[in-house]
Amino acid sequence: MTSETLVLDLRPNHRLLTAAKRYSVPRTSPANHDALTLLFVHSTHTCKEYWEPTIDEFLDIASARGHRGVQEIWAVDSPYHGDTALLNPDKPEMPYSGPFEDWEHWLRAILRHDALCNRRIVLIGHSMGAAVLPLAIIREPRPHNVVASILVEPVALHSVEAWKKLARVLPEGARRRGHRFKSREEALAHFRTLPSWKGYDERIGRIYVDFTFTPLKEGGIASKCSLEREIECYNDMEGLYRVFRSLRPAAQAVPMHITMAEGDRFAGPAFKEGILNGALGPDGKPATVSTILDAEHEVVQQKPREVALHILEAMIGLLDSVHAKL
């Protein structure tokens, strides 16, 4: 799998320069105006490269099954994360109510960028990266180029009780994980001792230390996303409530598929059930749902091939439609 690294200048629609990667897709037929572009949005404290094992597996499965409807695949570093953080060293303040609204406007600016505005886009996100998709979809004027959304383990708040647990667990986990180390090898050895990293795909550890950390002038490495910026995301209670309220309208606007992990270690079964009830409604529509067995909230890190398979299966109708026009 080959990729091209790009910098998207989103101004004046958003203040931040954004780091992106565009992945090559093997072409077995002439270009098709109905072909799909996949746009991946990562979770908090990670980076665009976190999706690479999933993208690699997706291309492998799609090729084996003869699906040819994808034209391009993109992944982007979100505000204050990955190389986007390095591109904006002055750290311009966000003019929004919190990180969720900031990511929402940032994603909408990406959808309006010249490189993507005329594509037929399938939005794919994990955790917070999934949560911002419905926010971006329903804000007026609604993006014309989004044809579907796939939410992998989205986060959203439907009750104060759910918030109380998240507000305690997530910042504690961030501090325990650590943001500065003497070397990448020391960092990797530390991460592999964490219970939350149990069962991670072997590729993920190396990706994490190679792409989410940057060298320091005084020696050692530090996370490109600071601890303070990460915790801001976890403390945005109003943003999490807005996500919950946006789920059903977004699913009514464009086809939505939700992929959940079987486990509920992250925030308990009630948290997950609340999200699904908010998206599905009393009649089980309009969103569709699938479950990945023997996995937790960190399913993208744990089972990239299964995630890729669920993404592909959620897109079958769209891919068949493109294939019919080849």
pLDDT tens track of the chain, all 326 residues? Answer: 799 999 999 999 999 999 999 998 987 555 677 899 999 999 999 999 999 999 999 999 999 998 889 999 999 999 999 999 999 988 667 678 899 999 999 999 999 999 999 999 999 999 999 999 999 999 999 999 999 999 999 999 887 777 777 788 889 889 999 999 999 999 999 999 998 898 999 999 999 999 999 999 999 999 999 999 999 999 999 999 999 999 999 999 999 999 999 998 888 888 888 899 888 877 777 889 999 999 999 999 999 999 999 999 999 989 888 766 65
Residues 229/16, Cβ–Cβ less than 8 Å: no
Residue 188 has a CB neighbour count (10 Å cut-off) of 16
Residue 250 confidence (pLDDT): 95
Residues 168/162, Cβ–Cβ less than 8 Å: no
- The pTM (predicted TM-score) of the whole model is 0.95
Where would I find the beta strands (DSSP E) of the chain? 3-9, 17-23, 36-41, 70-76, 120-126, 146-152, 180-181, 213-215, 221-223, 256-261, 288-292
Tokens of 227: 């601890």
Tokens of 102: 């900031």
Residue 265 confidence (pLDDT): 86
Question: Environment class of residue 293 by beta-carbon count within 10 Å: exposed (0-12), middle (13-18) or buried (19+)?
Answer: exposed
Q: Where are the domains of the chain?
A: 3-158+238-324
CA distance 243 to 29: 39
Could you say which of 3.20.20.10, 3.40.50.720, 2.60.40.790, 3.40.50.1820 is the CATH number of the domain covering 3-158+238-324?
A: 3.40.50.1820
